[in-house]
């Protein structure tokens, strides 16, 4: 039985607000295939209790998740609160004249209430002793990752490896390219999507290491009772930050209040603890310390810091004729 159907760990959460006299309803568009589903179920239950105690108003939250790009279509169909996987999704929202992002949106404590990163999922006992990215380019190591041309998850894997190589002593664009070329030369069966890659590694026993989201890696270990797999955190990786926004599409003041309260709630200690329980990295340092064993400290860099943002990363590395195509040609 395959449990691995997701594309991106937190591609989106979309909410449509409608306020009545005694109740508010938050509706959204989604699929339970998204691995953030369980976490947001816990978020939503906690927020319902919080809002009821604060305002006396009952709130019903119906959530939705989907792949990057879906939120733009969903919001255009009337949905109101959205968390976006990539910064260029937010830019696409801003360009549409049917809605706006409120001015206060930039006042959130951080751009995202929690983060994640790319880690290694290896077989129990780590037979090949794979501890860091350098180990993945050694001869005889079989790496499992989807194809970056067809999988947004795999693009994070690729950029994590490139950023690691670039920031090593003496690292430069040429050495990063050669490092990533060696890594992908070790890729066993470059699957089209994350689901196939997960199935091949977890269920079919193919490969020595799976490049995967940290929360997904811990889910696999949990689902197999900790007997078959273990998680390895490399010394350095990429930080993924979902953008949380409210789309101000002719909403009432009451609807805006609930929407803003929902987003603000994600930064509270209670919500941060929920994120940690689901193996996402809390922004609150005190809560993060509580989960330091499962989510150890790593040197994390962002797409903006190393690649100049997603638009530049996409056009240079993954567009037709880009760097990845050149690597494949070799």
17 pLDDT tier (thresholds 50, 70, 90): very low
Q: How many CB atoms lie within 10 A of CB 226?
A: 10
**pLDDT of the residue at 30:** 35
225 pLDDT tier (thresholds 50, 70, 90): confident
- Regarding predicted confidence, which is higher, 108 or 6? 108
Q: Do domains 12-113+242-290 and 116-239+298-329 have the same CATH topology?
A: yes
Q: Which CATH architecture has domain 12-113+242-290?
A: 3-Layer(aba) Sandwich (3.40)
Does the predicted model carry a pTM greater than 0.85?
Answer: no
- Contact between 8 and 153 under an 8 Å Cβ cutoff? The reply is yes
**pLDDT of the residue at 190:** 64
**pLDDT of the residue at 264:** 87
Alpha carbons 199 and 70: distance in angstroms, whole number: 24
Model confidence over 209-221: pLDDT tens digits? 999 999 999 999 9
- Contact between 28 and 63 under an 8 Å Cβ cutoff? The reply is yes
Model confidence over 37-53: pLDDT tens digits? 788 889 888 988 998 89
82's enclosing H/E stretch is: strand 81-84
Q: Mean pLDDT over residues 112-138, rounded?
A: 96
Of 212-216, 239-243, 309-313, minimum mean pLDDT range:
239-243
Of 95-109, 111-125, 224-238, minimum mean pLDDT range:
95-109
Question: Would the pLDDT of 202 be above 70?
Answer: yes
**pLDDT of the residue at 238:** 97
Question: Would the pLDDT of 137 be above 50?
Answer: yes
Alpha carbons 286 and 138: distance in angstroms, whole number: 38
Burial 125-163 (b: 16+ CB within 10 A, else e): ebebebeebbbbbeeebebbbbbbbebbbbbbbbbbbbb
Please tell me the CATH code under which domain 116-239+298-329 is placed: 3.40.190.10
For the chain, the structural domain boundaries read 12-113+242-290, 116-239+298-329
Give the tokens for residue 121: 């999922």
Of 136-140, 186-190, 236-240, minimum mean pLDDT range:
186-190
């Amino acid at each position: 039985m395959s449990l691995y159907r997701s594309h991106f760990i937190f591609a989106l959460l979309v909410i449509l607000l409608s306020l009545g006299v005694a109740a508010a309803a938050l509706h959204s568009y989604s699929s339970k295939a998204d691995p953030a589903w369980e976490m947001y179920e816990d978020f939503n239950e906690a927020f319902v209790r919080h809002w009821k105690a604060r305002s006396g108003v009952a709130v019903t939250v119906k959530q939705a998740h989907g792949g990057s790009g879906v939120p733009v279509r969903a919001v255009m169909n009337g949905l109101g609160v959205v968390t976006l996987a990539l910064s260029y999704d937010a830019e696409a929202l801003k360009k549409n004249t049917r809605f706006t992002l409120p001015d206060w949106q930039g006042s959130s404590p951080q751009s995202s209430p929690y983060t994640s990163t790319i880690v290694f999922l290896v077989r129990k006992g780590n037979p090949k002793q794979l501890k860091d990215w350098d180990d993945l380019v050694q001869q005889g190591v079989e790496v499992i990752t989807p194809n970056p041309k067809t999988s947004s998850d795999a693009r994070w894997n690729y950029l994590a490896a490139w950023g690691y190589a670039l920031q090593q002593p003496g690292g430069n664009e040429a050495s990063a390219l050669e490092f990533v070329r060696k890594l992908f030369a070790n890729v066993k069966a470059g699957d089209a999507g994350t689901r196939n890659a997960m199935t091949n590694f977890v269920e079919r026993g193919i490969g020595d290491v799976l490049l995967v989201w940290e929360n997904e890696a811990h889910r696999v270990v949990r689902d197999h009772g900790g007997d078959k797999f273990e998680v390895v955190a490399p010394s350095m990786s990429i930080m993924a930050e979902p953008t949380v926004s409210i789309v101000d599409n002719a909403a009432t003041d009451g609807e805006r209040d609930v929407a803003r309260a929902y987003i603000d709630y994600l930064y509270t200690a209670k919500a941060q603890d929920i994120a940690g329980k689901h193996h996402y990295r809390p922004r609150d340092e005190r809560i993060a310390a509580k989960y330091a064993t499962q989510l150890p400290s790593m040197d994390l860099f962002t797409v903006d810091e190393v690649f100049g943002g997603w638009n530049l990363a996409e056009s240079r590395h993954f567009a037709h004729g880009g760097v990845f195509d050149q690597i494949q040609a070799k």
